Structure 1
Amino acid sequence: MEWEPRDRMELNEQKKEYSAVTRNCFEWVEAVVTSIVVVVLLFTFLFRVVNVNGQSMEDTIHNEDKVLLTNLFYEPENGDVVVISRAQHFEEPIIKRVIATEGQTLKIDFNTGDVYVDGVLLDEPYIKTPTTDNEGGEIPEVIPEGYVFVMGDNRGNSLDSRSEQIGLIDKRNIIGKAQYIVFPFDRIGGIG
């Protein structure tokens, strides 16, 4: 039996269709793999999601909230909420607010609960309780180079830089800045 031109045309059409389907499948696989690689790279070098344990940052962040961090080229600033790695005395990462950075002067009036940085009274609408507990730690007048002083927003229930157990935080141990609450869904939003 000999092939007729019509059979050859049909065969060529089938090959073209098969080739187009194969090419389309490879394009989809390539798009999915590329997307996965991009997401992995973003969450490795730019973003991280961290689970919060404890009540030291209430009412800003609650126990079991999940927060999104940014960590690429991050330099801590006053008022930032940061996550600190386990490397510094902790079993798991902790989350606190930066109160003073290297070179700044710090004074806490434990009678009134007022906190002064560089002689200026901090406006702290985010705190749950005033800063009236010293926690027994030595608080330097000037924060040394490479360190920050941190406290939780729930000052009455926070183990932070006021404590001998924690003290000043080496900036190298800061994982990143907490930007958003991503879970639970009813609390999604930016962190101020």
Structure 2
Amino acid sequence: MLEQQYRTRQDARREHDFRYDIKNSLNTRERRRGAVAEVYEWVESCVIAVGVILLIFAFAARTATVSGPSMLPTLRDGDRLLLVQAGYHDPQYGDVVVIDRSQKGEPPIIKRVIGRAGDEIDIDFETGQVRRNGQTLDEPYLNEPTLTRRDVEFPVTVPEGSVFVMGDNRNHSADSRTREIGMIDLRRVMGKAVYRFLPAGRAGEID
């Protein structure tokens, strides 16, 4: 009788252990599936984020690198800039823009918009003052007054579909004062520079 009771208890224990092992195995599998699902979701989120960034840079924004001293003190040689492209079709006074020069086999240039279609631009190279439609411009961004004359005769009127641009480092800038560059067709404006992201120590919005 005692032996039978002992065997019954042993059988019950083995059945309990068997059920426990099955349950534990199922729980382990569920945990593994949960971990795999979590990793998959994380990877999927990263892929989507990268895709969004690529789309933004392809259609809405791009980067540019400053070359040379023509935009001192605002921008320095080697600065890396973020440009706005999407919907930017009407440059405003003071905008810093990147201009495509690929049609002449040359790299882009970065300048500031001084005149728009219909504006009369005049420069007094004795005083260094720039006038737009008879009004002397307040230009706090300049490195020095505009004293260097190029090969364009002033005053000039900006034609339709164009802008007149100059660098902030006026006496060391090739810009709309030269016939080689001249008035800039709006179709050649690649975008507006809005943010400097490198070097990190000088990162910030562009005035």
8 Å contact kept, 1:89–1:165? no
My pick for the range that moved more, 78-87 or 129-138, is 129-138
The corresponding residue for 1:168 is 183
Instruction: Name the aligned partner's letter for residue 159 of structure 2.
Output: P
Q: What is the aligned-residue RMSD (CA, Å)?
A: 1.9
**C-alpha displacement of 1:183:** 1.5
Mapping 1:122-161, distance limit 5 Å: 122-138=137-153, 141-161=156-176
2:135 corresponds to 1:120: yes
Which whole-Å deviations, capped at 9, do the CAs of 1:134-173 have from their partners, x for residues lacking one?
A: 2102556321111000000111100001101111111111
**C-alpha displacement of 1:21:** 1.3
The corresponding residue for 1:14 is 28
**C-alpha displacement of 1:43:** 2.0
My pick for the range that moved more, 148-157 or 173-182, is 173-182
* Higher-Rg member (1/2): 2
SS in 1 for 2:104: coil
Equivalents in 2 of 1:185, 1:20: separation in Å?
A: 40
Instruction: Name the aligned partner's letter for residue 8 of structure 1.
Output: I
Instruction: Name the aligned partner's letter for residue 100 of structure 2.
Output: S
Equivalents in 2 of 1:117, 1:21: separation in Å?
A: 66
**Residue segments in structure 1 that go unaligned for 5+ positions in a row:** none
Detail structure 1 runs of 4+ shifted over 4 Å in the superposition. none
SS in 1 for 2:141: coil
Which whole-Å deviations, capped at 9, do the CAs of 1:124-143 have from their partners, x for residues lacking one?
A: 11111222222102556321
SS in 1 for 2:112: strand
Counterpart pick for 2:41 among 10, 18, 27? 27
8 Å contact kept, 1:138–1:164? no
Equivalents in 1 of 2:175, 2:104: separation in Å?
A: 11
Which whole-Å deviations, capped at 9, do the CAs of 1:6-55 have from their partners, x for residues lacking one?
A: 23212221221121111111101101101111111222222222110000
Mapping 1:57-136, distance limit 5 Å: 57-74=71-88, 75-89=90-104, 91-136=106-151
**C-alpha displacement of 1:187:** 1.8
Equivalents in 1 of 2:136, 2:188: separation in Å?
A: 27
Mapping 1:25-64, distance limit 5 Å: 25-64=39-78
**C-alpha displacement of 1:103:** 1.8
Equivalents in 2 of 1:112, 1:140: separation in Å?
A: 15
**Residue segments in structure 2 that go unaligned for 5+ positions in a row:** 1-14
Give the helix-richer structure, 1 or 2.
2
